[in-house]
Amino acid sequence: MLSDWINLADAERDGLAKLDQGPRDYFAGGAGDEVTLRENVAAWGHWRLRPRVLNDVREVSTVAEVLGRPVDLPVLVAPVAYQRLAHPEAERGMAVGAAAAGTVMCLSTLSTTRPAEVAAAAPGARHWFQLYAFKDAAVTRALMDEAIEAGFEAILVTADAPPGGNRERDRRNRFTLPRELGTPSLTAATGGSEALTIEQTFALMNHALTWSDVESLASECSIPVFVKGVLTAEDAVLALDHGAAGVVVSNHGGRQLDRSLASADALPEIAETLDGRAALLVDGGIRRGIDVATALALGADAVLVGRPALWGLAAGGHEGVAAVLGLLREELELTLALCGCTSPTDLGRTHVRRAPVTSVYSV
Ligand SMILES: Cc1cc2nc3c(=O)[nH]c(=O)nc-3n(C[C@H](O)[C@H](O)[C@H](O)COP(=O)(O)O)c2cc1C
């Protein structure tokens, strides 16, 4: 029961229980030995809060700004492929849940629902589009144009794929998409009629993408472009130099390069280098309001959650998504108050320090 959820682990348990093994492992799994998958969660726990006291915290708000507009919660919904595998409401349910929480939903290129349908499901809500670049530039362009046409307000160009990571759970399960599950925008953009398999889809993607392609995309695009999948200060600077409005610090939820840095470990150097010059988002392993507060204190403007929102969707459709985001909102609000903050913008670098090594909390 959604109303019994105390924290995101409850949503995860109920969401996983709804899924057959193939989709469950596709959603939950990571690359290789899943070191980065696990460290993404654990690394947030390597930080400790330095709370300030006696600050009058009767009125605490979680409202924050992303791209110059307010969100009720600085937790966005990350782009996650093939959501119809999780629940029949699919991306529409995700959009409705995100809208109920007053936040942005990012739609994957590999969506089972077209951008206009997502926009219609949650009118007035904020939507961003995640873009994979394809070998045929006209396909990339058509996908981007469709999202802009539907009123989406930013593009996240994913830089850490293709190629797809070594997902051993999927290989062991011989996981394939159900035949009836398609990616209608991609099918329309490629001019095909048959649904594509995951392998066929990755084969169509542009494996030769470079920073100059990001520059062309950003210059042709009428809405802000983010680069998603940045883990170093060097690449964050290159993203800005090539026209990006911001970066998403991310390792794709541990699904691409195993043993790449956990997001929480990559964030500080990037935040320090960018120093507020561009929008800075982070995802990977956020499971607690305290994780959100830590990310904001380290310099992020907002975070994204992938799997938690998906567990909410699997367990309870749009209500499950809203419940997951609601739990994060409550936890963030309490964390802010106990840190002596009344708004996310009150959090700064002085509110966190690395935990002493001997007391690292293992999740
Ligand atoms: C099942 C699944 C599918 C994903 N599909 C995409 C995708 O299509 N495009 C993309 O840029 N990221 C994709 N991601 C990565 C997420 O956007 C995000 O970076 C990641 O889930 C964050 O980690 P978290 O799940 O621990 O919150 C996917 C993640 C999962 C779990």
Q: What is the DSSP string of 110-140?
A: T-SS-HHHHHHHSTT--EEEEE--BSSHHHH
The pLDDT of 150-155, averaged and rounded, is 98
pLDDT in tens, 86-137: 999 999 999 999 999 999 999 999 999 999 999 999 999 999 999 999 999 9
Q: Is 80 in the pocket of ligand 1 (CB under 6 A)?
A: yes
Q: What's the token pair of residue 108?
A: 């994957």
245-249 mean pLDDT: 98
Residue of 46, 87, 242, 252 marked active site: 252
Distance of CA 271 to the CA centre of its chain: 18
Look up the pTM and report it.
0.97
pLDDT score for 1: 86
Respond yes or no: is residue 252 known to be catalytic.
yes
Output the residue whose Cα is nearest ligand 1's atom 8: 81
Cβ distance 44 to 291 under 8 Å? yes
Strand-pair category, 279-283 with 246-249? parallel
The pLDDT assigned to 361 comes to: 59
Q: How confident is the model at residue 363 (pLDDT cuts 50, 70, 90)?
A: low
Q: Find which of 67-76, 180-189, 197-206 is predicted with most confidence, using mean pLDDT.
A: 67-76
pLDDT (tens digit, 9 = 90+) per residue, 266-306?
Answer: 999 999 999 999 999 999 999 999 999 999 999 999 999 99
CB of 130 within 6 A of ligand 1: the answer is yes
Mean pLDDT score, 22-48:
98
pLDDT value, residue 192: 84
**CA pair distance 151, 348, nearest whole angstrom:** 33
Compute, in angstroms, the gap from residue 265 CA to the centroid of ligand 1: 18
Q: What is the mean pLDDT of residues 309-316?
A: 98
Which one-letter amino acid corresponds to residue 342? Answer: T
The torsion angle over the Cα atoms of residues 65, 67, 70 and 73, rounded to 10 degrees, is -60
